[in-house]
């Protein structure tokens, strides 16, 4: 709040994926309105801007509804911010919500606001062409486009030089990545599609694919962990799976959003796969990458979802036994195919009851899956002190699960066994002693490097 009071311009980055996300922004706007009206006349007026998906979805409606909003910029209009702010300075409202076919912000290097941060996100693509029937993303983020490989590698190199130890490649469909900007590959394999998967759009041809990008990114710094999210289950060719299996610094962790366990619902969602194709992919991934950690997204109460459909989702959760899950109650979004053609007919309390049931089942299964780590030694990237105790450190293992352990003096195996205390950004080996659905606990054995640790780690 202190910083808010000092600011002359406040820009809110917004999300429209569910109604709840938008509600949070309306509430925040009410607080800012109070701040704006209370501002002494001796200071320059406070300017408020809305950036991102809500600006794109609601356009002028926000300016009409909230007179105190000065500026709107959609997800592809950030370069225009200086001009928009100049218009605002002259006392008018300003808006740019044009979507672009090629904007990837490739030449804009984000500033790391926390210089001691151990991890960073790197955007590799924008937009989405999938048109799942429930989803607003294709309408707020526009068409799918990939950032040139060279500019991604440049950013990762800079992050490595700054000491960042973990990079997550970010996009709506990261594994559909195709950089057509420079080289035209006459690639014999013309599709990324996994077996049993289809798309709602014409698959693009040629270009540099996700496996190439992942290969190149993982070669930059052998001590840097590489993750990616969110992939779509349709684009998991064997080259990608092999690379994850082979490369020691690509985390053995795959997010595989299923959304539902019922074929009827998957069809209505236009996800382009059946439950059987999805489960076959899970088995194939587990065969290719032993010990891989899997996570997923699920939606409860989608249009027409019956109790039997819901039970099929429960059974998919039991069958796959995910390590992590993101579960949501369906939220009808305007413009989507479901909004125009289907009925949001599952009552809110039923959606929420089903959500609770999925959360319970997911926790039970994740606890069982995480229990298998007990007794094993794992490589953990230290993030800092645990939020709950200043005598415990906390970090993440390869599966991205939180690991908590007492802060103790340990041997540094990379520095002739000198005694040290682990710092944020260090890799340590931790012997796991207990597990829950979301956290592992253990005790620290030594400070090490990622390369050296492969000798000791059993998982
Ligand atoms: N591109 C990613 C998803 C990004 S949105 C993918 O396909 O995996 C993240 C998650 O939000 C989705 O996986 C879905 O589970 C959820 N979601 C999207 N639209 C939703 C809606 N209308 N209601 C509830 N959840 C939704
Ligand atoms: Fe939305 Fe589907 Fe695209 Fe994910 S893949 S962003 S759920 S339309």
Confirm if 329 and 372 have CB atoms less than 8 A apart. no
DSSP states along 330-377:
----TTSHHHHHS---S-HHHHHHHHHHHHHHHHHHHHHHHHTTTT-E
- CATH T-level assignment (fold) for domain 102-251: Transcription Regulator spoIIAA (3.30.750)
Domain with CATH 2.40.50.140 in the chain: 377-456
Confirm if 205 and 185 have CB atoms less than 8 A apart. no
- Max CA pair span of the chain: 68
Q: Given the DSSP bridges, would you call strands 439-448 and 427-435 parallel, antiparallel or unpaired?
A: antiparallel
Confirm if 440 and 375 have CB atoms less than 8 A apart. no
Ligand 2 center to 257 CA (angstroms): 10
pTM value surpassing 0.85 = yes
Number of H helices, E strands in the chain: 15, 21
State the closest ligand 1 atom to the C-alpha of 130, by its place in the atom list counted from 1. 7
Ligand nearest to the CA of 228: 1
The length of the chain is 459
Domain with CATH 3.40.50.12160 in the chain: 2-96
- CATH T-level assignment (fold) for domain 254-372: Transcription Regulator spoIIAA (3.30.750)
CA distances from 434 to 21, 298, 430, 431 (A): 34, 27, 12, 10
Of all protein residues, the one whose alpha carbon is nearest to atom 2 of ligand 2 is: 132
Confirm if 234 and 273 have CB atoms less than 8 A apart. yes
State the closest ligand 1 atom to the C-alpha of 136, by its place in the atom list counted from 1. 19
DSSP H helices in 39-116: 53-58, 60-65, 81-89
State the closest ligand 2 atom to the C-alpha of 297, by its place in the atom list counted from 1. 7
Indicate the top mutation candidate among 57, 135, 175, 229 to test ligand 2's pocket, ranked by most ligand atoms within 8 A of CB.
135
Confirm if 233 and 278 have CB atoms less than 8 A apart. yes
Reading the chain (459 residues) residue by residue, the pLDDT tens digits are 778 889 999 999 999 999 999 999 999 999 999 999 999 989 999 999 999 999 999 988 888 887 889 999 999 999 999 999 999 999 999 999 999 999 999 999 888 777 678 999 999 999 999 999 999 999 999 999 999 999 999 999 999 999 999 999 999 999 999 998 865 554 544 466 778 888 887 777 779 999 999 999 999 999 999 999 999 999 999 999 999 999 999 999 999 999 999 999 999 999 999 999 999 999 999 999 999 999 999 999 999 999 999 999 999 999 999 999 999 999 999 999 999 999 999 999 999 999 999 999 999 999 999 999 999 999 999 999 999 999 999 999 999 999 999 999 999 998 888 999 999 999 999 999 999 999 999 999 999 999 877 655 544
Phi, psi at residue 100, to the nearest 5°? Answer: -120, 155
CB of residue 173 inside a 6 A radius of ligand 2:
yes
Ligand 1 center to 330 CA (angstroms): 9
How is domain 2-96 classified at the architecture level of CATH?
3-Layer(aba) Sandwich (3.40)
Short-list 228, 227, 230, 231, CA closest to 251: 227
- CATH T-level assignment (fold) for domain 377-456: OB fold (Dihydrolipoamide Acetyltransferase, E2P) (2.40.50)
Determine the Cα–Cα distance for residues 107 and 111; give it in Å rounded to an integer.
13
**Residues near ligand 1 (Cβ within 6 A):** 17-18, 128, 134-135, 172-173, 230, 232, 257, 259, 297, 299, 328, 330-331, 333
């Amino acid at each position: 709040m202190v910083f808010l009071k000092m600011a002359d311009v406040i820009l809110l980055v917004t999300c429209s994926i569910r109604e709840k996300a938008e509600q949070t922004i309306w509430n925040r706007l009410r607080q800012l309105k109070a701040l704006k009206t209370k501002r002494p006349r001796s200071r320059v007026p406070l300017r408020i801007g809305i950036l991102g998906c809500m600006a794109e979805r609601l356009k002028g409606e926000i300016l009409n509804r909230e007179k105190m909003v000065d500026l709107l910029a959609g997800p592809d209009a950030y370069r225009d911010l200086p001009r928009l702010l100049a218009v605002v300075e002259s006392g008018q409202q300003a808006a740019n919500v044009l979507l672009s076919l090629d904007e990837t912000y490739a030449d804009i290097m984000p500033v790391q606001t926390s210089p001691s941060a151990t991890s960073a996100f790197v955007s590799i693509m924008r937009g989405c062409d999938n048109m799942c029937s429930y989803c607003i993303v294709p309408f707020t983020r526009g068409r799918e486009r990939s950032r040139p490989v060279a500019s991604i590698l440049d950013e990762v190199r800079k992050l490595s030089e700054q000491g960042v130890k973990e990079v997550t490649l970010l996009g709506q469909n990261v594994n559909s990545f195709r950089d057509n900007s420079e080289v035209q590959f006459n690639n014999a394999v013309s599709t990324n599609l996994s077996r049993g998967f289809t798309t709602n759009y014409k698959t693009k041809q040629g270009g540099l694919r996700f496996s190439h990008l992942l290969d190149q990114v993982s070669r930059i710094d052998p001590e840097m962990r590489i993750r990616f999210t969110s992939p779509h289950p349709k684009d998991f060719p064997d080259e990608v799976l092999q690379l994850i299996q082979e490369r020691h610094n690509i985390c053995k962790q795959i997010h595989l959003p299923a959304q539902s366990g019922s074929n009827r619902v998957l069809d209505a969602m236009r996800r382009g796969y059946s439950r059987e194709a999805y489960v076959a992919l899970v088995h194939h991934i587990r065969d290719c990458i032993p010990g891989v950690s899997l996570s997923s997204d699920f939606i409860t109460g989608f249009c027409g979802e019956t109790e039997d459909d819901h039970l099929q989702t429960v059974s998919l959760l039991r069958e796959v036994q995910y390590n992590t899950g993101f579960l949501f109650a369906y939220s009808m979004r305007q413009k989507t195919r479901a909004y125009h053609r289907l009925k949001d007919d599952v009552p809110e309390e039923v959606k929420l009851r089903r959500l609770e049931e999925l959360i319970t089942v997911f926790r039970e299964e994740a606890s069982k899956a995480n229990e298998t780590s007990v007794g094993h030694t794992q490589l953990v990237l230290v993030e800092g002190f645990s939020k709950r105790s200043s005598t415990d450190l906390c970090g993440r293992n390869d599966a991205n699960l939180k690991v908590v352990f007492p802060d103790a003096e340990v041997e540094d195996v990379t520095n002739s066994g000198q005694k040290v205390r682990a710092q944020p950004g260090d890799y340590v080996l931790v012997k796991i002693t207990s597990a829950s659905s979301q956290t592992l606990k253990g005790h620290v054995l030594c400070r090490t490097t990622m390369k050296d640790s492969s000798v000791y780690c059993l998982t």
